[in-house]
Structure 1
Amino acid sequence: MILLIDSYDSFTNNLAHLLKENVNREVITIHNDSFAEHEYEQFYNEYLPYFDFLVIGPGPGSPSNEKDVGIIKFLFQKFKQSTSPVIPVLGICLGFQCMCYSFGNQINKLENVKHGQVYDIYPIETGSDLFTGNVLKQFGSVRYHSLFVDGINDEIEPLAYCFENNDSSDEKSKVLMAGKHKSLPFYGVQYHPESICSHEGANLVKTFSNIANEYNQSSKREIVAHHVDKLPSAFKSHTVHEGYLIPDGSIKAGTRGSHDIYLKKFVLDDDIFPTDLCNFFHNEEKSFLLLNSASLPGEWSIIGLPITGKSEIITHSVDNSTVTVESDGFKSTQVLDNSTELWKSIGIKMKDKYISREEIKSQLGAYHSRDLPFVGGYMGLISYEEGQHIVLDKMESICKESTPDLKLIFIERFIVYDHVTCEWFLVSILGEDGQWCDNLYNNIIGASKEKLKISINDIPSSIKGYVDSQDEDLVNFDFPSRETYEKQFTRCQEYLHSVLTLKKNPSPFSCFMEFDDCVIISSSPERFLSWKDNQAGNKEIELRPIKGTVRNTPDVDIELATKILKTPKEMGENLMIVDLIRHDLYQFTDVVEVSQLMAVEEYKTVYQLVSVIRGQLEKEGYHGIDVLHNSLPPGSMTGAPKKRSIELLHDIEAMQENGHPGGRRGIYSGVVGYWSVTDEADWSVIIRSVFHYTDDKENTTKTKLWRIGAGGAITVLSNSEDEWDEMELKLVSALQAFK
């Protein structure tokens, strides 16, 4: 077995997968604080002999800070004192720094912090044992670090270097990238071999495994045979989820039984779109929710038609851990011990509502050339604060009572529009609902073109056009403070250097959702997470992170946009999120691929740098909802390492006096989407959005406050002026409707 010690990094699962795939041994991962200090001796004497070798992984922090490294400092002290054979060690990034620091070498700050940049690594002749086949042959690897080993003493032998400007002739810019102890089986690299853009990572771990095997055999180091299932519970502390959110195995064990499914297929004029039909429903005073995929990669739009007083609505607030369920005129409220209980209860509800694709096909036959993505289920939103690692004890409510952080409504009547075939489907999974379907179908088909089609000329250019008042102060704007933003930017840079490495604007994931306590209007371009059945019968997971945006104007073509976006800053941001997402997916599957890496995609108003990461849920008992629960908040809205970033961002964002109270983000940076009764789903990141809380503390008897979130990824390559301009651009674009 291999033991991997994680220092709360966001790429650790990628490293574990690299080891497992290439060394063919069980990899056990623990945090550096999984064992209490009084258990260190027992860990060293009793548990360490179970493992063939030890990998000390990356993470935020410094080798000199005991809180950042936990048990790692103790282990190296014991190794230095040992008169018996020691366990071989491979250190990665922080792990490498810890090794060097423990043997008397100095760790200093880089002048230019590396945040997902690819550099050429140059092995030297003494590195021939670790870099077999690559002696004096350079290869590219990714650097994520703010600290470096500044010179080495006689205890450590250098094995590889890189050069800060990637110019191997500039000796002054040489930075140590790999080293080994002069006599003990300790090796390490400063770069990240597990990154999707790193080369020779597989060769590195294979070669080190051979080194460890040879040492164990020649030194006659005693390795105690032990089965992974019999390890103490502390060795399982790295698992971030408990059990399955849908209990008792497969969701297909649902007991809802047979269903009456009604479907009416129809065609409207080519210039009638989902937004037109929603306007028609609005004029008819019918409630609706809209998920509108008005451009690629989205291909479907869904109009949910809730039944007032009947449709089940789930509301949760992290302010008081209260979940409320309303259905058929009844309302129940429960205080939960933790957020996992919320997700488990939702999983149980969906299990009872599950309808298989086989049953749908048996009832409806060949109703369309491809399956509808949504066949009833939950539609709604999940706030940023429902995610992992949020600092709840410092948070204030946005609303006078509790802020709605999760809103899900169970939809049994809905309309789906296929943007590829331009066909419409009116569907109900509510028993004995044929008459309702017929009535609504006739109402739509019988409506005149004037009633169905929104006239663009009739749409006011501003929200002001919808009201009679000509008061100049009708709509007021409160922008963030530029002065405070400068302080926030500076604070980010300090942390980065010391710790962290609808109609007029169609978008793939726009939406309108109105609940009793909150409203959201979104024009999001970014899919967060989708899952659906593939041809092999496995759930296929897809994430499409976006980092890097350029306006699509007449003077900017795809070639120029690519040149602008393919820069170290933009590519570093995107790469960081790709590696973070791979880490999240490896919790649930060993089948993860990056099918598109940092490609420039053209949309109507922008060019964007987009990656696509896919995985297949082959491990028994895992579902897409497990991935959703354990991947929130979206990494593209936090950066990495996620846990440390979230903690720091909370305090930084609280600096703006007119921001959300206590550093809350609320609906912004959360996700919105659907979870179909077929256990398929699509969720987008809530950006390019405006939202409103009915009970907002800032509301008055005369005014309603609408909030807009905007920002950008600040890295060490950012500058304050450009980041402010980007944030202001995003705010102003959303504000156009109010001016």
Structure 2
Amino acid sequence: MILLIDSYDSFTNNLASLLRQTTHQKVITIHNDAFPPDQYDTFYNDYLSYFDFMVIGPGPGHPANDDDVGIIKFLFEKFKYAKQAQSQSVIPVLGICLGFQCMCYSFGNDISRLSDVRHGQVYDIIPDNDIENLLFNDSMTGFGNVRYHSLYVDEVNDEIIPLAYCYDNDSKVLMAARHSSLPFYGVQYHPESICSTNGEKLVRNFSKIAYDYNQKVNRTIKGHSDESTLPQAFSSHTVHEDYLIPNGIIENKSNTSTDPDIYLKKFQLNNDIDPTDICDYFNRYHEKFFLLNSASIPGEWSIIGLPVLSENEIITHSVDALEVHINVNGNHSTLPIKDKSEVWKLIGSKIKEKYIPRSDINTKLGNYHERDLPFFGGYLGLISYEEGQHVILEQLESICNGNTPDLKLIYIDRFMVYDHTTHDWFVVSIRPNDSEWCESIYTRLTQAEDLKLSLDDIPSSVKDYVNESDQNLIKFEFPSRDIYNQQFAQCQDYLHSGDSYELCLTTQSKITLPSYVNAWDIYKVLTLRKNPSPFSCFMDFEDCVIISSSPERFLSWKNTVDNKKQVELRPIKGTVKNTPEVDIVQATKILKTPKEMGENLMIVDLIRHDLYQFTEQVDVTQLMAVEEYKTVYQLVSVIQGQLSKQGYHGIDVLHSSLPPGSMTGAPKKRSVELLQRIESMQTTSTPNGRRGIYSGVVGYWSVTDEADWSVIIRSVFHYADDKENTDQTKIWRIGAGGAITVLSKASDEWEEMELKLVSALQAFK
């Protein structure tokens, strides 16, 4: 077995996968603070003998900071003592990035700051072939690898033997080394990155070094047979994720009916009738709806939920309180919880209760369409940024007079689906004995004469919905550029100190509108007049409203033909304004730069890490391709994987991956903590840097256990109980930001933030 010590990096699972796939051994991962200091000796004396070798992974921070490295410092101190005692008590070590720096620092070498920091940059690694160099084969010379480091090992003493370098401008930077007598090796670069090469050769070579050493000193290794040989006291400290859907695979649910209540009516309307037309029709008749609208490629479907609010279940949670609120059939219940992870287990159990296998649907409906509908009832809703991992909840204040709604899900059992490819409409109900309702909707829509919404009836700005006498009530409050420059400088400090590779610094702006301005009218102006996008949405809950024209799919999962789950994420990093002067060729030239590609690469590697926790194989099917939208060009990657680990579901991936890495930076944990404080500096922000709905996700989770969630960007949102609302006015909020790297310039980042802000703000001008 291999022990991997993680320093809360966002690439650790990529490294674990590389180790596992190359050596075919089990890899056990622990955090560097998994054991408290009073258990360090127990760890060293009782547990290390279970492992063939140890890998110390990358992470934020400095080797001299005990909080950054935890038990790693202690281990190297013990190894130094063991050097003069018996070598059987020494375990072979491979250090990666921070792990490499820790090795060198522990043996008396200085760690300095690079004059030119490299995050997400590919450089050729040049091994020293004039010495015995077991870590690199003769064929491994001048091979490209990704560097993620702002610190480096300066000149080394006699205990550390250099093995490889890279040439950076006029500098020669140490990229690999070993200890002069102990079986300790390390590399500064990241062999596990998607853009690195020869990672398997490196691991294979070190595995041979470790094997030979263990044989030479006759090391007794207890854990060769199976992971179960590990003592329970150790296993309780390993990194793992609990299943969110209780009792394993939902397909084994014993009470699943093979004849579900499903009523479906398929029909066509004039091809120029789109989902916005249908929703506007319902709005005119004061009928409630929730819209997930795929207005352009790569979106293919639109979903219109048609609830009866007095009957449909609504789940509400706020991170401000240890309770979940459930409203259904006019009854309200409050469930106490111990922590917010219980919210996820609750909704997992809900979908398990309502689960309908695809096979049962197809048996019931027969050949109803040339391809399966993506949604057959289930939950529509939003999940805020703060519902994700690593946010310091103790520092949060509510945006609202009461608790701020962070999770809002409504159960939809009556809905419409539109296929943008075939132009077919579907009215569907999964309520018992509800065919009459389906027929009534079909009849209304096919006989209606006022379905088409005229663009001439939609003004070019929301302000045109405001009475002339109330124009003075419209106000805008934008972030301060001077404060932004201070925030940018703080980000650069952390990027240069080794605390982060990338920080997605966001800002919030506020718009004050008269209370009578209708949310649906805002949606029409934003998405029809100003900013059509692949994944727009309109969700009007009683306590919050989200109007989004997001171009970014965060996460989807769906069934494959062999009944597996295909998971896909589509991160966007890199943005250029789409103007008559800039075509796709020019945009590609602008976006295919070290800065923009470095931003995207970091998020791709982060997402691979998130997925590897739940699957054995992750594929990057599109790496940094330029996609065109109406207002911008963007650099988009696509990462896919099939859930292969028994018991896990898409909800597990969603839970562990939030907040979206494209909205945080990497490493995620440290970056989220830093951003929470930095973003609170702006006067337009909440005092604690709470993002709220912005940077969260919105989408659906079908009763077939399939889902699609998009990142909430290019959006405006409103809280019914916002502290800044008045009797006459409502506050609408817009978030915008961008990834800060060491290659960023404050002026350029400010302009990019304004560009993204304008895509939503233009609806109000």
Normalising by structure 2, report the TM-score. 0.94
Q: Deviations over 1:83-109 (max 9, x none)?
A: 212211100000000110011111001
Residue 513 of structure 2 aligns with which residue? Answer: none
SS state at 1:301 partner: strand
Contact in 1 for aligned 2:574/2:591 (Cα 8 Å): yes
The 5 A counterparts of 1:147-296 are: 147-165=151-169, 170=170, 173-225=171-223, 227-231=226-230, 232-253=232-253, 255=255, 257=257, 258-296=259-297
> In structure 1, how many angstroms separate the alpha carbons of the residues matched to 2:28 and 2:488?
39
Aligned counterpart, 1:403: 404
How far residue 474 of structure 1 moved from its aligned partner, in angstroms, is 2.7
Where 2:624 maps in the other structure, the secondary structure is strand
The answer (yes or no) to whether the contact 1:674–1:683 under 8 Å persists in 2 is yes
Could you tell me which of 100, 117, 127 is aligned with 2:121? 117
Instruction: Provide the residue aligned with 1:536 in structure 2.
Output: 562
C-alpha distance 728-605 of structure 1, shift in aligned 2 (>3 A): closer
Q: Distance in 1 between matches of 2:582 and 2:236?
A: 52
For residue 256 of structure 1, report the CA deviation from its aligned partner.
5.4
C-alpha separation between the residues in 1 aligned to 2:395 and 2:674? Answer: 12
Encode CA deviations 1:132-181: one digit per residue, 9 max, x unaligned. 1335x20000011111001111111111101123xxxx4xx110000011
Closer/same/farther in 2, CA of residues 661 and 146 from structure 1, 3 Å limit: same
CA change 1:252–1:675 in 2 (3 A) is farther
Q: Who is 1:680 aligned against?
A: 706
CA distance in 2, matches of 1:365, 1:372: 13
Counterpart of 1:631 in structure 2 is 657
CA contact (8 A) 2:243 2:652 kept: no
1:238 Cα deviation from its structure 2 partner:
4.0
Structure-to-structure mapping, 1:39-58, within 5 angstroms? 39-58=39-58
Does the 8 A contact of 1:252 with 1:356 survive in 2? no
The root-mean-square deviation of aligned C-alpha atoms, in Å, is 1.3
What is aligned with 1:412?
Answer: 413
Per the TM alignment, residue 27 of structure 1 is displaced from its structure 2 partner at its CA by 0.7
The residue that corresponds to 1:572 in the other structure is 598
DSSP 3-state at the match of 1:75: helix
Do 2:715 and 2:735's aligned partners in 1 also have CA atoms closer than 8 Å?
Answer: yes
Q: Partners in 1 of 2:14 and 2:185 — Cα distance?
A: 19
Give the distance between the partners of 1:538 and 1:256, measured in 2 at CA: 19
Q: How far apart, in 1, do the equivalents of 2:216 and 2:117 lie? A: 41
- The alignment covers a number of residue pairs equal to 730
Mapped to 1, the partners of 2:16 and 2:256 lie a distance apart of 40
Tell me which moved more, 583-592 or 404-413. 583-592
- Distance, in Å, in 1 between the alignment partners of 2:762 and 2:590 is 26
Matches within 5 A, 1:323-338: 323-338=324-339
- Give the Cα separation in 1 of the matches to 2:579 and 2:484: 29
Q: Aligned pair 1:130/2:153, yes or no? A: no
CA distance in 2, matches of 1:11, 1:127: 30
More displaced stretch, 467-476 vs 372-381: 467-476
In structure 1, the residue matched to 2:504 is: none
Could you say which residue in structure 2 is the equivalent of 1:496?
A: 495
Q: What displacement does 1:239 show?
A: 2.6
Question: Which of 724, 737, 744 is matched with 1:698 structurally?
Answer: 724
Query: Does residue 26 of structure 2 align to residue 37 of structure 1?
Result: no
Q: Does 1:392 align with 2:393?
A: yes
Within 5 Å, give how 1:42-81 maps onto structure 2. 42-81=42-81
Cα distance in 1 between the residues matched to 2:139 and 2:184: 20
Q: 1:236 Cα shift?
A: 4.2
Q: Distance in 1 between matches of 2:617 and 2:95?
A: 26
- Aligned residue for 2:740, secondary structure, equals coil
> Is it true that 1:141 corresponds to 2:145 in the alignment?
yes
Give the stretch that moved more between structures: 189-198 or 716-725.
716-725
SS at match of 1:432: coil
The answer as to whether partners of 2:584 and 2:628 remain within 8 angstroms in 1 is yes
| Further displaced range: 220-229 or 632-641 | 220-229
Residue equivalent to 1:348: 349
In structure 2, what residue type is equivalent to 1:358?
S
| Displacement of 1:649 | 0.3
Note closer, same or farther for the CA distance 1:386–1:638 as it changes in structure 2 (3 Å cut): same
Tell me, what secondary structure is at the counterpart of 2:116? Answer: strand
Deviation at 1:251, TM superposition (A): 4.2
For the residues of structure 1 that align with 2:282 and 2:252, how far apart are their CA atoms? 35
| Per-residue CA distance 1:456-497 (angstroms, 9 max, x = gap) | 111112212223334341310000111111111111111111
Instruction: Say if 2:477 is the partner of 1:478.
Output: yes
Name the CA shift for 1:127/1:264 in 2 (closer, same or farther; >3 Å): farther
Mapped contact 1:303–1:415 kept (Cα < 8 A) = yes
Partner of 1:668: 694
Q: Deviations over 1:26-80 (max 9, x none)?
A: 1111111111111111211111111111111100011111111111111111111
In structure 1, what residue type is equivalent to 2:117? Answer: V
The SS at the match of 2:468 is: coil
Q: Residues 94 and 376 (structure 1 numbering): CA distance in 2 closer, same or farther, change over 3 Å?
A: same
1:606 Cα deviation after fit? 2.2
Specify the code of the residue in structure 2 equivalent to 1:400. Answer: N
The separation in 2 between residues aligned to 1:397 and 1:316, in whole angstroms, is: 13
Q: Which amino acid aligns with 2:173?
A: V
**What amino acid sits opposite 1:341 in the alignment?**
E
Structure 1: distance between partners of 2:638 and 2:162? 37
Rounded Cα–Cα distance in structure 1 between residues aligned with 2:674 and 2:240: 21
Structure 1 spans left out of the alignment, 5+ residues: none
Q: Is the 8 A contact 1:386 1:632 kept in 2?
A: yes
Q: Match of 1:14?
A: 14
User: Do residues 26 (structure 1) and 37 (structure 2) align?
Assistant: no
1:347 to partner: Cα distance: 0.9
Q: Does 1:96 align with 2:95?
A: no
Q: Give me the whole-angstrom Cα distance separating, in 2, the residues matched to 1:254 and 1:648.
A: 47
For residues 536-566 of structure 1, the C-alpha deviation after alignment (integer angstroms, 9 at most, x for no partner) is: 2110000000101112222222221111001
Distance in 2 separating the partners of 1:17 and 1:702: 57
Q: Which residue of 2 aligns with 1:368?
A: 369
Distance 1:618 1:75 in 2: 35
Residues 1:604 and 2:638 are matched in the alignment: no
Amino acid in structure 2 at the alignment position of 1:468:
N
Contact 1:475 1:738 in 2 (8 A): no
Q: What secondary structure sits across from 1:718 in the alignment?
A: coil
SS at match of 2:281: helix
Answer yes or no: is the 8 Å Cα contact 1:56–1:89 preserved in 2. Answer: yes
- Inter-partner Cα distance in structure 2 for 1:402 and 1:251: 36
CA contact (8 A) 1:263 1:428 kept: yes
Partners in 2 of 1:584 and 1:270 — Cα distance? 41
**Greater mean deviation of Cα atoms: 390-399 or 451-460:** 451-460
Q: Distance in 1 between matches of 2:605 and 2:620?
A: 10
Give the deviation of 1:201 after TM superposition. Answer: 0.4
Compute the displacement of 1:603 (Å): 2.6
> How far is the alpha carbon of 1:254 from its aligned partner?
5.8
CA contact (8 A) 2:35 2:237 kept: no
| 1:6 positional shift | 0.6
* TM-score where L is the length of structure 1: 0.97
SS in 2 for 1:503: helix
Structure-1 separation of matches of 2:483 and 2:277: 42
Which residue of the partner structure matches residue 428 of structure 1? 429
Deviating beyond 4 angstroms after TM superposition, the runs of 4 or more aligned structure 1 residues are none
- Summarize the alignment of residues 703-722 of structure 1 with structure 2, pairs less than 5 Å apart: 703-722=729-748
Contact preservation (8 Å) 2:29, 2:238 = yes
CA distance in structure 1 between the partners assigned to 2:281 and 2:556 by the alignment: 30
**Cα offsets for 1:193-220 (capped at 9, x unmatched):** 0000000000000000001111111122
Contact 2:2 2:28 in 1 (8 A): yes
Q: Contact 2:109 / 2:156 at 8 angstroms: preserved in 1?
A: yes
Among all aligned residue pairs of Structure 1 and Structure 2, give the percentage whose two residues are the same amino acid. Answer: 66
For the 8 Å contact 1:317–1:406, the answer to whether it is kept is yes
Give how far 1:507 is off: 0.9
Q: What is the SS of the residue equivalent to 2:239?
A: coil
Q: What pairs with 1:518-597 in structure 2 (closer than 5 Å)?
A: 518-597=544-623
- Find the counterpart in structure 2 of residue 452 from structure 1: 451
